Structure 1
């Protein structure tokens, strides 16, 4: 078993970069939406990244992990992950990148709730129930706002689609944790996820009438960023960190992602945020942080007490 190291400055620096990439990934999709629909962009990037991941699988000798034990749960996480991408792609047609990022990142709340109900070892602590309540209240508050004037009825549809995408992401996490995929190499899980997203997005794009493509330099640059940096390199880097550091402590650091997402949407796309959405987003972020870090707080408090106690005895 690989021994996980405590979080150090290197891990924090890498996580800041990863969270910035994940938070801003909706921006290039939205910027070139007129040249290629978001759902088609997500399908194409997933397919190309899946091919790159397959090369990594054979290079690492992980192909044996694709077997009769992992195929069914792999297809399930592919379908669920693909559903998340379809919903996120359609959400970007109707609402802002900032809204999509915040609502998508309610997924850890749903995953924690689902795992807490299904697994005894994942039962939620009182603080985590508080975090879930805060996040739920944040969603209600954010939906109650006036939004961007006359566009808000349409934005509410996009917000709802983003929340549906978060449900798909949460279910993906639950299947990963409760199936043979839990012991499979990360590259195999990523391959199934990306393949599922490719199939669903490219199949539904013609059904939804989202097949228009106008080849432009910004579109090529955006797709290159999405395929190489977002869908391939960033996730492999994340899985590499998971092999070296505590997953729970890394998970807390992903709290930065929606913050980067909102900031990039406002700065690069000029997203307008009403007071209700800002207040709701803060409640959602607080809920995510509480749910993700509840198990760490007692350990951190105990460590701090052990450090302070000798000083208090010597004074």
Structure 2
């Protein structure tokens, strides 16, 4: 992977980590409905990127399915998980998308994973477990189940997007938003109560968080993620997402005053070694391809 693309993806992981912290704060401190928040996010994105919806992609149905997986299912369930469990526990369960993506890339895309990269994946994953594992974790089983299905939706959506073929990242974001807003808003109206008033009562934190989620997380970070995913094998890109939970730990220390002990330092070092093994474990570098 080119250094420039690696740095871009590192920035994406930083934004994702910040989004977890911001979302958790909105749900637990300001009582914002997680499904309503996800629906509002994708509704605004759909409005902003509406001109990119045409002409219709051919075929259209696969794009709608991919959009629902990457949007409604991944984010909707992730936000529900953050409302029910701690940021750290949700982060670690979300990393299950890494082995799931690697497995699906072999089964669906027929990619080959070298033993060095496989070892790097395992080592990096072990490092994240060391960093985040809490024998007496406070997460609930329902929150972890939401996070697991969210990770599976992300893995499957990423693989299907890779299989679908080149599509402009911003255009894909427009279709993700369009496919996600109706089911999320419908579910919010059915399952949540007082969501409108909750957003008003929260005041500026809600609007700032929503603006960050729409402009920075969705349009900037995920567009960059789609671009990197189109240029490199999914089995290479997915493990690098392990940087995100490590950054979440760092943000917890800096912003929330959480402790950083020897266990966390050891896990960070193990994960870093695994990331380096993933980066340099390719027998032949993939040839970048431009999105159309």
The answer to whether the superposition gives a TM-score over 0.5 is yes
| Cα distance in 2 between the residues matched to 1:285 and 1:202 | 38
Superimposed CA distance per residue, residues 227-264 of structure 1 (whole angstroms, 9 cap, x where no aligned partner): 11111133334556678xx5358767544222212222
Q: Report the alpha carbon displacement of residue 203 of structure 1 after superposing the two structures with TM.
A: 2.0
Q: CA RMSD in A?
A: 3.7
Corresponding residue number in structure 1 for 2:12: 18
Per the alignment, do residues 138 and 16 of structure 1 end up closer, same or farther by CA in structure 2, a change over 3 Å counting?
closer
Q: Report the alpha carbon displacement of residue 130 of structure 1 after superposing the two structures with TM.
A: 3.9
Q: Report the alpha carbon displacement of residue 102 of structure 1 after superposing the two structures with TM.
A: 3.1
Q: Report the alpha carbon displacement of residue 280 of structure 1 after superposing the two structures with TM.
A: 11
Per the alignment, do residues 7 and 210 of structure 1 end up closer, same or farther by CA in structure 2, a change over 3 Å counting?
farther
| Cα distance in 1 between the residues matched to 2:266 and 2:193 | 32
| Residue segments in structure 1 that go unaligned for 5+ positions in a row | 301-315
| Residue segments in structure 2 that go unaligned for 5+ positions in a row | 286-292
Superimposed CA distance per residue, residues 162-185 of structure 1 (whole angstroms, 9 cap, x where no aligned partner): 122100000101211223xx2222
User: Residues 246 and 268 of structure 2 are in contact (CA less than 8 Å); yes or no, is this contact kept in structure 1?
Assistant: no
1:49 aligns with 2:45: yes
Say which of 233, 239, 255 aligns to 2:220: 233
Say which of 276, 279, 289 aligns to 1:293: 279
1:194 aligns with 2:165: no
Corresponding residue number in structure 2 for 1:92: 82
- TM-score, length basis structure 1: 0.71
User: Residues 16 and 244 of structure 2 are in contact (CA less than 8 Å); yes or no, is this contact kept in structure 1?
Assistant: yes
| Cα distance in 2 between the residues matched to 1:222 and 1:127 | 40
Partner SS state of residue 184, structure 2: helix
Superimposed CA distance per residue, residues 67-96 of structure 1 (whole angstroms, 9 cap, x where no aligned partner): 341x11111112212111121011011111
Q: Report the alpha carbon displacement of residue 143 of structure 1 after superposing the two structures with TM.
A: 7.0
Per the alignment, do residues 237 and 78 of structure 1 end up closer, same or farther by CA in structure 2, a change over 3 Å counting?
closer
Say which of 117, 141, 144 aligns to 2:107: 117
Number of residue equivalences: 275
Matches within 5 A, 1:252-267: 254-267=241-254
Per the alignment, do residues 260 and 279 of structure 1 end up closer, same or farther by CA in structure 2, a change over 3 Å counting?
closer
| Cα distance in 2 between the residues matched to 1:30 and 1:74 | 30
Matches within 5 A, 1:114-153: 114-120=104-110, 122-130=111-119, 145-147=135-137, 152=138
Q: Report the alpha carbon displacement of residue 299 of structure 1 after superposing the two structures with TM.
A: 5.2
Corresponding residue number in structure 2 for 1:223: 210
| Cα distance in 1 between the residues matched to 2:12 and 2:47 | 22
Partner SS state of residue 32, structure 1: helix
Corresponding residue number in structure 1 for 2:289: none
Corresponding residue number in structure 1 for 2:63: 74
Larger radius of gyration: 1
| Cα distance in 2 between the residues matched to 1:157 and 1:282 | 28
